[in-house]
Amino acid sequence: MKLSKISLFLCMAAVACGLSSCLGNGEQRQSITFNYKDCFNVVTDLNTGVSEVRLSPTYHMDMNLTEGTADITMTNISLPGVTGALSFKLEGIKFTFDKRGNYIISGRDLVPSGSAADYYTFSSLSIMFVDRMLSEEGARIPAYYINFVINNKTQVNAVSTENYYFGKTTVTSENTTPYTTYETYYTVILDPQSMVATIGFNSARFSDKMPLSLNFTLKDLPFTVDPQGYKIIKADATTPYLNNTPNPSYDITNLSVNGVTNKGATFDFDCNPNGMGEYHVNAPVEWLVYPLQVEQ
């Protein structure tokens, strides 16, 4: 398989493209910044278990690659029972890289700087993100996981409005050998104001007998949220759009998408493409295509 869809900027690349500033001792401070605003928060009251959507948070991570520390600024954070939006800054938090190239930031009982320190403590903080370049789109699209608990009372989980997933898709049908592919990738666009989703199926193929792969879209799908992410469930037939034209010959049924923000998503659905037969599709997919998973 050609790994042309996505590239990963690993830590050395991050250092190479980081911003440099002069330290007091004449050394160069290597840093890189990440801004995450294409998201919404799922805020869960840990006493009641009730989750709510809160709009338009922003997260800014200033990564000091020289010291291995991060300064994290959060703005427009809305919490239950609190009037108005809050801002927090956490300074000098250690970060590492995992074997997949993700930045990892975590901590417990963290006290924000400024006046917020008098009222709020981050009982836990877990941040993971990776820099990605989607080559077919020609765009840099990092992927983020941000989850924290405030005062042991409220969990906040940031959910991206624009999600890209890659990995193994398995197609099964009666009397045929299961067909697997790593070429198909998925997009999920979430609108937290209307609570509807759009799913894109890219380079989709249900059988090695299909002469061409397909790009199609499912629109106006209701979704729900929970402390782990989001869910899309639709049992009845949904007509996909091919080239912006509805095509009932490829209706999708029994659609289930379970998005977990720190892992990826699992897609399950049935399809009878153009009368070729009943196919069941299962795809547990992630942020990246890993070379060790696929045949080169």
Flag the least confident range among 117-126, 135-144, 145-154.
Answer: 135-144
Detail the DSSP E strand segments found in 37-102: 39-45, 51-55, 58-64, 69-77, 86-97
Q: Which of 292, 296, 239 is nearest to 101 (CA)?
A: 292
Q: Determine the pLDDT at residue 1.
A: 38
In the predicted structure, residue 101 carries a pLDDT above the cut 60? yes
- Identify the pLDDT of residue 138: 64
Is residue 148 within 8 Å of residue 159, measured between CB atoms?
no
Q: Is residue 154 within 8 Å of residue 79, measured between CB atoms?
A: yes
**25 confidence band (pLDDT: 50, 70, 90):** low
Confidence bin at 132 (pLDDT 50/70/90): confident
Q: How far apart are the C-alpha atoms of 82 and 43, rounded to whole Å?
A: 12
Distance CA 7, CA 129 (A): 14
Buried b / exposed e over 158-168, threshold 16 CB at 10 Å, is bbbeebbbbbb
Question: Average pLDDT in the 142-150 region?
Answer: 97
Average confidence (pLDDT) over 162-171:
96
- Quote the pLDDT of residue 282: 98
How high is the pLDDT of residue 175? 75
Q: Percent of the chain scored above 90 by pLDDT?
A: 73
Among candidates 199, 180, 202, which has minimal Cα distance to 256? 199
**The predicted structure's pLDDT at residue 275:** 81
| The pLDDT of residue 147 is above 80 | yes
For residue 114, the SS3 value is: helix
pLDDT digits (tens, 9 = 90+) for 208-241: 877 788 999 999 999 999 999 999 999 999 999 9
List CB contacts of 214: < 8 A, sequence separation 6 or more: 201, 203, 204, 205, 242, 250, 273
The pLDDT, as a whole number, for residue 204 is 92
Percent of the chain with pLDDT over 70: 87
Across the chain, mean pLDDT equals 88
The length of the chain is 296
Alpha carbon distances (Å) from 215 to 33, 70, 154, 178, 243 = 34, 40, 40, 21, 8
